[in-house]
């Protein structure tokens, strides 16, 4: 039967669960997605309310595989078929036009898929350390892009956990999650309550704390001894200021990635990736996907 001009457009259903059409950007049902580009608002809203936003189908699916419970899905009405294979259970699936999506979120949702997830309780630092051989420790890294890139490098290059100073950015902020390509879900992380006193806990767990710095008297990272590499905790600071003097003083060894052509340092995410690879270069080959 041909469609009747002017009749309400039907949206395909996702298996058992109906797709709910959203026509008003101020609809309270999609309040989780409001003003996603307002960093200050979102960082005040998301952690206290126990939620985070995933952007893009790949990231959404990785969050589900990691066991994060979905609160809702919000998709471009033209892309509802992308979620057709998901067992969404009782979780509502909302669909809207690009115009409504943009007015609600504050940006053009070109990936077409968003989801709101419930956070899981963070483990204690001791729990992350107990199951790790090699960890990264971040001090004052509050750029979400850099944070996400560090997590992606950690997942790819053999880092078993990430520990954050109290002033680090939220790894589950949308931009961090997106830049990490969802790998933030694959690497256990925890936040220290005390800093830099938390580094004592790392050392007591049997790790050697390696402070990354461009200082001329730092040890080139490739010259670390086998004992220093055995259980390494790589300490990295924020873009620009680097590690504080207090954090460096609380470390065991200051290390550097040697530079050439007068370059003094790398972006923190790039430096982290180089150092992660170097620390794990003698690991057995890994053929996993």
Q: Where are the alpha helices (DSSP H) in the chain?
A: 39-45, 57-65, 98-105, 125-130, 144-156, 174-179, 198-204, 226-230, 245-249, 268-279
pLDDT band at 287 (very low <50, low <70, confident <90, very high): low
Instruction: Output the pLDDT for position 264.
Output: 83
pLDDT band at 12 (very low <50, low <70, confident <90, very high): very low
Contact predicate 116/177, CB 8 Å: no
pLDDT tens-digit readout, 175-223: 999 999 999 999 999 999 999 999 999 999 999 999 999 999 999 999 9
Q: In whole numbers, what is the pLDDT of the chain averaged over residues?
A: 92
| Mean pLDDT of the 44-49 span | 93
Query: Is the pLDDT reported for residue 16 higher than 80?
Result: no
Which residues have C-beta within 8 Å of that of residue 249, sequence separation ≥ 6? 196
| Mean pLDDT of the 47-55 span | 96
Does the pTM surpass 0.85? The reply is yes
Number of H-type helices and E-type strands within the chain: 10, 12
| Mean pLDDT of the 148-166 span | 97
Instruction: Output the pLDDT for position 17.
Output: 57
**CA 184, chain centre distance (Å):** 4
Of 14-23, 57-66, 107-116, give the lowest mean pLDDT range.
14-23
| Mean pLDDT of the 129-146 span | 97
Question: Rg of the Cα trace of the chain?
Answer: 22
pLDDT band at 92 (very low <50, low <70, confident <90, very high): very high
Query: Is the pLDDT reported for residue 13 higher than 60?
Result: no
Higher pLDDT: 166 or 111? It is 166
C-alpha dihedral (222, 228, 233, 238), degrees to nearest 10: -40
Distance CA 189, CA 239 (A): 20
pLDDT band at 113 (very low <50, low <70, confident <90, very high): very high
């Amino acid at each position: 039967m041909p469609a009747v001009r002017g009749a309400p457009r039907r949206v395909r259903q996702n298996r058992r669960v109906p797709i709910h059409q959203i026509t008003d950007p101020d609809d309270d049902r999609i309040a989780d997605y409001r003003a996603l580009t307002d960093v200050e608002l979102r960082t005040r809203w998301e952690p206290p309310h126990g939620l985070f936003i995933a952007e893009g189908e790949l990231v959404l699916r990785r969050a589900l595989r990691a066991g994060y419970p979905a609160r809702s899905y919000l998709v471009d009405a033209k892309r509802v078929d992308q979620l057709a294979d998901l067992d969404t259970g009782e979780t509502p699936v909302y669909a809207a036009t690009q115009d409504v999506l943009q007015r609600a979120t504050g940006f053009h949702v070109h990936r077409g898929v968003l989801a709101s997830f419930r956070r899981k309780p963070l483990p204690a630092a001791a729990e992350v350390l107990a199951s790790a051989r090699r960890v990264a420790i971040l001090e004052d890294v509050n750029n979400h892009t850099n944070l996400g890139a560090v997590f992606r490098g950690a997942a790819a290059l053999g880092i078993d956990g990430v520990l954050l100073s109290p002033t680090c950015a939220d790894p589950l902020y949308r931009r961090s999650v997106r830049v990490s390509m969802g790998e933030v879900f694959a690497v256990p992380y925890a936040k220290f309550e005390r800093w830099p006193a938390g580094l004592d806990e790392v050392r007591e767990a049997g790790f050697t704390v390696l402070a990354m710095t461009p200082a001329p008297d730092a040890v080139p990272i490739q010259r670390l001894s086998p004992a220093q590499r055995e259980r390494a905790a790589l300490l990295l600071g924020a873009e620009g200021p680097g590690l504080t003097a207090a954090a460096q003083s609380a470390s065991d060894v200051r290390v550097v990635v040697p530079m050439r052509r007068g370059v003094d340092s790398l972006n923190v995410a790039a430096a982290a990736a180089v150092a992660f690879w170097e620390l794990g270069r003698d690991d057995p080959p890994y053929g996993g996907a």
